[in-house]
Amino acid sequence: MRGYATAYGAATVLNAIANWKGSAFGISLRTSAEVVLNDSGRVVGDASGIDTTLIVRCVERVLNHFGLDYGGVVRTRSEIPVASGLKSSSAAANATVLATLDALGEEIDMIDAVRIGVGAALDAGVTVTGAFDDACASMLGGVVVTDNWNKELLKRDALQSEVVLLIPEERFFSRDVDVARCRLFSRVADVVFDMVMEGDYAGAMTLNGLLYCTALRRSPEPVVLALRSGAAGATLSGTGPAYAALVDDVSGDDVAAAWSSLGGRIIRTAVENRSARMGQADLFQEGI
């Protein structure tokens, strides 16, 4: 039994660490998963650059959901930089959950599929809050607002915008964040949450960026440079080190030029409004 799926990365509007409320939007960078089930009784992972504990737990949790004791092999391929704040773990989890369902010939509600992946991420220790916001953005596309404590989707909108990403050379894993320091800023995060509920996503992500640059001791200079170059909004994505900016045709060129002086890698992409897809072997078919 063989299954495939493709899910997307995401970028932050509101990081959920401070107050358990989060918001993120999908971006057009993909992760594909292949799951091959067998009678071995043991699931093993084969993933370049990603800790296989997460994807193995995703397969195991789907099998447990249906009361099955299959084994198997799970592989992923990804365009998303690892440990950068662009939700590579959420995309890997979503793609793996959907690929396992595809292999079984089963379907479940997409939010339930998200919850399975979030549970696996908590099992694997790759997230502080469960990253329900990131997982929903990766699975559903568009911009989402969530209650991560209760694992509830509060809002989803389509969002049309180009995106510029700045990805420094360093990596940073969410499990290493100073949670107590971030939660000192919960009242500011509450203000950002009100902004996202009102639909001011660009303004919210900018305030979020300044908040978390302070909380995580990261430079706000990329946010300032992006705004000076005409971006509608800019932020530190997740716990970094990547930054994201919402741009148009003109400001996108200007932001990319301004950020090029900072070093690191620049990626031009767009908000992804499509949902993750079962039965899609995009990156395996393309040989990536």
Q: How confident is the model at residue 47 (pLDDT cuts 50, 70, 90)?
A: low
Q: Which of 194, 187, 205 is nearest to 15 (CA)?
A: 205
So what's the pLDDT on residue 244? 98
So what's the pLDDT on residue 257? 97
| Residue given tokens 């369902």 in the structure block | 101
Residue ranges covered by each domain of the chain: 1-282
Q: How confident is the model at residue 124 (pLDDT cuts 50, 70, 90)?
A: confident
So what's the pLDDT on residue 98? 98
- 187 contacts: CB under 8 Å, gap ≥ 6: none
pLDDT tens profile 150-170: 999 999 999 999 999 999 987
Look at residue 174 and tell me whether its pLDDT is greater than 60: no
Task: Look over the chain and give the mean of its residue pLDDT values, rounded to a whole number.
Answer: 93
So what's the pLDDT on residue 177? 76
Look at residue 71 and tell me whether its pLDDT is greater than 80: yes
- 129 contacts: CB under 8 Å, gap ≥ 6: 16, 17, 20, 22, 148
Q: Which of 106, 104, 98, 108 is nearest to 76 (CA)?
A: 98
CA angle 128, 247, 242 (to 5 degrees): 30
pLDDT tens profile 228-243: 999 999 999 998 899 9
CATH of domain 1-282: 3.30.230.120
Mean pLDDT of 168-197: 86
Q: How confident is the model at residue 126 (pLDDT cuts 50, 70, 90)?
A: confident
| Rounded CA separation 7/278 (Å) | 9
Determine contact, residues 139/75, Cβ cutoff 8 Å: no
So what's the pLDDT on residue 46? 83
pTM over 0.85: yes
Q: Which residue has the higher pLDDT, 155 or 177?
A: 155
The helix-helix angle for 132-140 and 110-124 (nearest 10°) equals 140
